[in-house]
Amino acid sequence: MANEIKVDCVGENCPVPLVETRKAVRKAEKGDIIVVQGDHSASKKEIPMAVEAMDLELLSIEDKNDHWQIKIKV
């Protein structure tokens, strides 16, 4: 059964969101969904590039009220 792992990086600047996302990926099991939230615009671009480099599945990138949310499938 897939778990949903939340990574809250709102208010954090680079490289914290990317580092926290990588930590979550290492802890996750195959099939888990990682939901990363943040408000740092550079991280919104960097995390999807890292997901591709790690050969994971980018499910979505959504803009919320004052932040963004990225969903990744491990």
DSSP class of 55: T
Calculate the CA 46 to chain-centre distance.
10
**14 is annotated as an active-site residue:** yes
Helices (H), the chain: 16-27, 41-53
> Which is the catalytic residue, given 12, 14, 58, 73?
14
Q: Which residues are catalytic?
A: 14
